[in-house]
Structure 1
């Protein structure tokens, strides 16, 4: 038992917990065919000066996912010796494992380099209230090192109203909000780029573009060619298989504008199941654990059941995970 963790994370096996040092980038080997989970949860002890923002920079994690995985811990002063869960275990997003996949509900990007059995994953800042990031299937159409920034009229008007007028062009450099590199997407007006504000990574802070830590966007710059597909989804509930067991990972749902959603979570879970009928049609499921996972929204994959050919289609089972 893990007494400090919420009840749902107690379902994690000890094999999934390890104490590890910093990882330069989350480069993870792809699982074998038919499996969906990569990485391992890590647990570290905080130093006095640690904050979630600093730990996120070190371990390639966003602020929101650090908060979700560590309920009750002060993100700005965890305290020396406090155990911190690093949520570095992931169920891969549904759909083809190719190109770039961005899951808005996770504030996270996955990149599958062609011809290699690995996946890279990085935290993102996404569109804030009123400036939601799009759900789309697009591609990288240009790569630009040391970009200048020409603020659009809408953003100039917003800054002017706040008494912070912007110039017509912001030159490359430390004051440029695009950081040291940008990828232009085929969806007009949207970029993947670095950021001179590391505290916004893993949060809803942008005007719709996708912000990355500067070291992460520079790693991507060396790996991702023009023409790479980019699939942008918003899937708060992900099902996956590992070692013959079925897992569920839950995040806070976002609405069409990128705001926390009041959507019927029962419907959200069922829709996620329908995307993974290959593993949920015949599943002996622990609904008590499902309810805990959905309520916790901590982003940690938790075992919820095992495939069983004797079980009828799960979608015909009347359940409500919130009751």
Structure 2
């Protein structure tokens, strides 16, 4: 084989490997930091995420029916599953989940309101923990709820977007479930008031 042909093949192999690396989800590329918990790490540092359970699931294992559609949030795998009422649509999204167990709520509820361009007010407990936080943030790039929010039947709990994409795949929220803005926009278009929600 000529040097020029060998050089072309090596270049192709290099470019192919580089493209595969870039295409690999960030959650699979990140390294683990020994001896610290996720809460101790700055959100900008790399964290190895739990992707072992990030797989498709069957709705029948969690719901009796798909009336109004169904959303399953798996806190352990940090994944949100959505099925529409006639089973023609299934979506699987990576999420952020509550930072600590005491902020985590599990069980059944439903979507009670859908808001595009949500406003944000920290809860009394958040203000107590973080008195420097503003009392109100309007819609826009500084809003921690991102571009869309699904309000749940539990007070203060939401499934919402985030402008800080570093949070997805992490234990990083104050109780809510966060999605990439493009994913919450899609889910916003699929879900409805009355969509069943189960957090496990």
| Equivalent-residue separation in structure 2 for 1:120 and 1:67 (angstroms) | 23
Offset, 1:198: 0.6
Asked whether 1:178 is paired with 2:153, we answer no
| Match of residue 201, structure 1, among 148, 157, 168 | 168
Asked whether 1:129 is paired with 2:100, we answer yes
| Equivalent-residue separation in structure 1 for 2:172 and 2:82 (angstroms) | 22
State the partner residue of 2:20.
45
Asked whether 1:149 is paired with 2:120, we answer yes
Q: Is the contact between residue 137 and residue 231 of structure 1 (CA under 8 Å) also seen in structure 2?
A: yes
State the partner residue of 1:158.
129
Q: Is the contact between residue 110 and residue 196 of structure 2 (CA under 8 Å) also seen in structure 1?
A: yes
How many residues end up aligned between the 2 structures? 161
| Equivalent-residue separation in structure 2 for 1:112 and 1:224 (angstroms) | 9
For residues 125-144 of structure 1, the C-alpha deviation after alignment (integer angstroms, 9 at most, x for no partner) is 01012543211111000011
Offset, 1:116: 3.3
The alignment partner of 2:100 has SS state of: coil
1:275-290 to 2 correspondences below 5 Å: none
Q: Indicate the structure whose relative CO is greater, using CA pairs within 8 Å and at least 6 residues apart.
A: 2
| Equivalent-residue separation in structure 2 for 1:159 and 1:196 (angstroms) | 20
| Equivalent-residue separation in structure 1 for 2:122 and 2:78 (angstroms) | 24
Q: Is the contact between residue 71 and residue 198 of structure 2 (CA under 8 Å) also seen in structure 1?
A: yes
Offset, 1:154: 1.8
Offset, 1:158: 2.0
| Equivalent-residue separation in structure 2 for 1:108 and 1:124 (angstroms) | 5
- Structure 1 gap segments, 5+ residues each: 1-43, 57-62, 77-85, 234-323
| Equivalent-residue separation in structure 2 for 1:104 and 1:157 (angstroms) | 25
- Structure 2 gap segments, 5+ residues each: 1-18, 33-44
State the partner residue of 1:262.
none
Q: TM-score, normalised by structure 1?
A: 0.45
State the partner residue of 1:214.
181
Cα gap change, 1:179 to 1:131, in 2 (>3 Å) = farther
Offset, 1:45: 2.0
Where has structure 1 moved over 3 Å in runs of 4 or more?
86-89
Cα gap change, 1:131 to 1:177, in 2 (>3 Å) = farther
Offset, 1:187: 1.7
Asked whether 1:117 is paired with 2:94, we answer no
The alignment partner of 2:127 has SS state of: helix
1:252-267 to 2 correspondences below 5 Å: none
Q: TM-score, normalised by structure 2?
A: 0.71
| Equivalent-residue separation in structure 2 for 1:103 and 1:120 (angstroms) | 13
